[in-house]
Amino acid sequence: MLYLMRHGEAAAHSVASDKERPLSDFGQRQAAAAGALLADAGIQVVMSSSAERCRQTVAGLALPGEPREEYQDALYLADVETLLQRIGEIEDEVDSLLVVAHSPGLPMLANELSYDAGHGDADAVRCAFPVSAVMAVQLPCTWAELADGERSGVRLLGTVGSEGNDPASC
């Protein structure tokens, strides 16, 4: 199972450089709420951008079972190709992966997978992917096959926005 998540709401740009921006108080609450939704997902690996707001989002999830956490500079503002490349490097033994990253790359990947799963409405996926939103995708292939373009049988299980995010504001 692949889970895609945007980081929680970040503090204002004036607080620090973009990569160093922490979560706002609201963003911390969003991360905790998303963690409650993911508590039973059995996530084995969390692959996250190294940006502070992503690190704090992962910490705020407080996932059970102590999944392996990987923080990667390459995921900071990564495009779809980079995200897929990094996903493709995950070991086949991993059954459940959470990727925590940024817009626009992560929502674009969500849109691509949604389209491939037969739910191709770019505006709906974009608007259903505000900060701290989570998308669950069932994959009938390995991580490497997904990265190489295998999409047959990809199944979108759903996207959950977070409290306080109005999809109409996308």
Residue 50 lies in a domain: yes
Q: Is the pLDDT of residue 138 over 50?
A: yes
Residue 134 lies in a domain: yes
Tens digits of residue pLDDT in 73-101: 999 999 999 999 999 999 999 999 999 99
**pTM metric for this prediction:** 0.89
Which residues 6+ apart lie within 8 Å of 139 measured at CB? 1, 2, 146, 153, 154, 155
Residue 170 lies in a domain: no
Structural domain containing residue 67: 2-9+18-163
**What is the C-alpha to C-alpha distance for residues 46 and 86, in angstroms, rounded to an integer?**
12
- The domain total for the chain is 1
Helix count (H) and strand count (E) of the chain? Answer: 6, 6
Tens digits of residue pLDDT in 25-66: 999 999 999 999 999 999 999 999 999 999 999 999 999 999
159: β partners: 135
CATH of residue 111 = 3.40.50.1240
Which residues 6+ apart lie within 8 Å of 18 measured at CB? 51
